[in-house]
Amino acid sequence: MVRYDLIIVGAGPAGLSAAIIAAKQGVRTAVFDENERPGGQLFKQIHKFFGSREHRAKVRGFRIGEQLLEEARECGVEVHLNATVMGLYDKKEVLVMADGETHHFKADAIILATGARENFIPFAGWTLPGVMGAGAAQTMVNLHGVQPGSRVLMVGTGNVGLVVSYQLMQAGIQVEALIDAAPRVGGYGVHAAKLARLGVPFYLSHTIVKAEGTDKVTGAVIAQVDEKFQPIPGTEKHFDVDTICMAVGLSPMSELPAMAGCQMEDKGGAVPKVDACGETSIPGIFAAGDAAGIEEASSAMITGQIAGIAAARRLGYVDEEMFEAETDRLRASLQKLHEGMFSPQNRGRNDFTETDEGYPISQSLLHKGYMEDQEITRYPGAVSGKSGVHPVIECSQNIPCDPCQDACKFGCIRVGDEITRLPCVNEEAKCTGCGLCVASCSGQAIFLVDETYDEEHAAVTLPYEFLPYPQAGDKGVALGRDGREVCEAEVVSLKINKAMDQTALLTIKVPREMAMTARFFKKKEA
Amino acid sequence: MRVTEHPILGTYQKGRKVQFTFDGKSMEGYEGEPIAAALRAAGVTTHRYTTKKHEPRGIFCAIGRCTDCVMIVDGRPNIRTCITPLREGMRIQTQYGIEAKEI
Ligand SMILES: Cc1cc2nc3c(=O)[nH]c(=O)nc-3n(C[C@H](O)[C@H](O)[C@H](O)COP(=O)(O)OP(=O)(O)OC[C@H]3O[C@@H](n4cnc5c(N)ncnc54)[C@H](O)[C@@H]3O)c2cc1C
Ligand code: SF4
Ligand code: SF4
Ligand code: FES
């Protein structure tokens, strides 16, 4: 039987981060993952991450995956792929299925970083081909380059539903609508706004009634729900879709700790009871990432590192002093992500009416996915009626994120140390119109507005992540935040360089009075 | 349909083009991609029919967890096509219950 110091199950962001920090201390570490490729869910996450620089904010998920793999290779972590861990026993022995055979391995410490599975809700026709998890659709387009369908209904408006819907649109798939039984959008407003300005409608307080079709999905019926979440007869709506995606939550993969006899508890699904370092009730067995409680990839990387350093201490590779210093640093970093209205302790709450600073929260954003025109300048990131180019930041909730502040070398944007604070524009500082803030914003919530572009026109610069790119001189229409056509528009320029990491800056000119309304561009069909 | 050019990912890295058969019909896909991806690109949505009720099933989780996508591959039933790489000349059949043919 092969022995290691540390065995990690799962090569997602949590498992790889744990492996790297432990191996750097000299711990002999092996990671097992059932997939052909490591990275867990990271390689399908093509959006720019939130957080701060220390959380690798504004870097796209799949690039973080590449960085982690490189670091793991450099510090000598053994990654075993196509290797499914079938059993875990309390003597820290694991049973692995690889190449159709079972193998036994033993270690002095184990970290379970097995991630999560998607939840599903049953409804009439839900087993038809064409009904699938949002993560399944994301896997098909982003990993394999195959469209799961051409017209999609998304069920669920949490961050996974919002992010995946946008990514489906980027791959040329039409998302017909997003629905949610809850009365408010569950995920970040900035993610919802990206979809709304493309014209994708939101139906809150709606549920799916049935999938139509005999051999595959040919349509979907939704209906409004009452306070008890029951469909209200007569409110049905039909959509011509060939795909229905469900993004109704994730559940931790917790079979292994249960099998080993770890004490379990219910935290949105069964999870092993863990201490502040992720150690379960069995000394030397740890859990990290989604397997210890559903969050997202940025925090999974930190809980992975905490478990990794704690395992290294247990094995005698780090002394108490270093352990304290490292865990203090990591916990502080995790705490930054855990502030604000979307923090884990506020899960399920959507009754906030004000931000931490006391600004009212846009009800339109929560109900329709976009802010009304007149709401924008309520927030400290937006001013209008200025001459010359200046940023308009449409980021109105306390989300853990601050790349905009880092991006501006001229001091125009300030979030502060508490990264869930709303970004503020400093009117004293002079904006050069460089556009770095627009490209850096993970929420695509920053626009540059020049209300004095010429006698009659304003120029609006917006983040653009679709193909084909419009060209200077192209004529078309500007869309408002609600996706409706608001005026004629002409492309002034399209800029893209390496620093922008695939977020192009599209500048359009529109009638001056549309400066605070025009937020997307659609080219006129020739 | 395949995504040929993506605003973030550019072009996808794919293996060489290979031939395979689906219920006897000749089809094309890329070596190493999941069988399910090649089938979806070729327009196939039903992978199997359930034993008792003969209901169609297709891709559901795409990461090897749900077994909805299992098919008969080179004569072997219950192969999860969403995580099994496509190879030249593979014989892929719709699965009825656990058989290749409807009974
Ligand atoms: C399908 C899906 C899509 C998602 N998309 C997004 C998104 O777009 N944006 C976002 O913010 N969050 C998304 N999430 C949330 C996601 O939970 C986190 O972003 C993050 O990936 C969690 O990291 P992790 O390391 O805990 O787990 P994962 O990244 O899931 O990694 C766990 C790994 O362990 C492997 N594994 C599990 N059990 C075993 C076993 N017994 N033996 C061997 N290997 C095993 C898994 O196959 C996987 O590779 C998604 C989650 C899922 C399930
Ligand atoms: S455009 Fe450049 S100068 Fe102006 S606010 Fe953005 S980063 Fe700062
Ligand atoms: S404006 Fe700043 S805080 Fe808001 S999403 Fe963009 S980068 Fe993050
Ligand atoms: S689709 Fe779930 S196992 Fe293949």
Question: What CATH number did the domain enclosing B23 receive?
Answer: 3.10.20.440
Over residues A273-296, mean pLDDT: 96
Number of domains in chain B: 1
* Overall average pLDDT of the A287-293 stretch: 96
How confident is residue A1, by pLDDT bands cut at 50, 70 and 90? confident
**Minimal CA separation from B82 to chain A, in Å:** 9
Place of tokens 């995920």: A187
Q: Which of B8, B31, B79, B86 to mutate to test the interface with A (most CBs of A within 10 A)?
A: B8
| pLDDT band at A350; cut points 50, 70, 90 | confident
Q: How far is the CA of A429 from the centre of ligand 1 (A)?
A: 42
Kindly state the percentage of chain A with pLDDT values over 70: 100
**pLDDT at A526 (0 to 100):** 67
A366 min Cα distance to partner chain B (Å): 28
Closest CA to A188 of A296, A290, A109: A296
Per-residue pLDDT at B103: 59
Q: What is the pLDDT of residues A231-281, one digit of tens each?
A: 999 999 999 999 999 999 999 999 999 999 999 999 878 999 999 999 999
SS3 letters across A124-193: ECCCCCCEEEHHHHHHHHHHHCECCCCEEEEECCCHHHHHHHHHHHHCCCEEEEEEECCCCCCCCHHHHH
The reply to whether B19 falls in a domain is yes
pLDDT at A402: 96
- Measured in whole angstroms, the distance separating CA A385 from the mean position of its chain's CA atoms is 34
Q: In the predicted model, what is the mean pLDDT of chain A?
A: 96
Structural domain for B25, as ranges: 5-96
Report the Cα–Cα distance between both ends of chain B, in Å, rounded. Answer: 32
Tell whether B83 lies on the interface with A, counting CB pairs under 8 A. Answer: yes
**Which protein residue has the closest C-alpha to ligand 2 atom 2?**
A434
Secondary structure (H, E, C), A347-397: CCCCCCCECCCCCECCHHHHHHCCCCHHHHHHCCCCCCCCCCEEEEECCCC
- Residue B24, domain member (yes or no): yes
Nearest CB to A170; choose among B7, B45, B59: B7
Is position B84 within any domain?
Answer: yes
| B102 domain-assigned | no
A89-139 pLDDT, tens digit each: 878 999 999 988 999 999 999 999 999 999 999 999 999 999 999 999 999
| Whole-number pLDDT of residue A37 | 86
The closest residue, in CA terms, to atom 39 on ligand 1 is A114
Across A340-344, A366-370, B64-68, the highest mean pLDDT is recorded for A366-370
Give the per-residue pLDDT at B47.
Answer: 98
* Percentage, residues of chain A above pLDDT 90: 94
Mutate to test the pocket of ligand 2, among A448, A461, A462, A503 (most ligand atoms within 8 A of CB): A448
Of A7, A32, A114, A163, which is best to mutate to test ligand 1, by the most ligand atoms within 8 angstroms of its C-beta?
A114
With beta carbons less than 8 A apart as the criterion, state whether B83 and B64 touch: yes
Q: Is the CB of B58 under 6 A from ligand 4?
A: no
Atom of ligand 2 nearest to the CA of A436: 7
Residue B101 falls inside a structural domain: no
Whether B11 is covered by a domain: the verdict is yes
**Contact map slice: A 113-152 vs B, CB within 8 A:** 117-118, 127-133, 135-137, 139-142, 144-148, 150
Question: What was the pLDDT predicted at A383?
Answer: 84
Tell which wins on pLDDT, B102 or A464: A464
Q: Is A246 on the interface with B (CB under 8 A)?
A: no
- Largest Cα–Cα distance of chain B, in whole Å? 47
B13 within a domain of the structure (yes/no): yes
Average pLDDT, chain B: 95
pTM reported for the whole predicted model: 0.96
Cα Rg of chain B (Å, integer) = 14
Whether B102 shows a pLDDT value over 80: the answer reads: no
Q: In the prediction, which pLDDT does B100 show?
A: 82
* CA–CA gap between residue A21 and residue A8 (Å, rounded): 12
pLDDT at A349: 78
Evaluate whether residue B58 is within a structural domain. yes
Crossing angle for the helix pair A13-24 and A61-74, to the nearest 10 degrees: 30
Atom 51 (ligand 1) nearest CA = A41
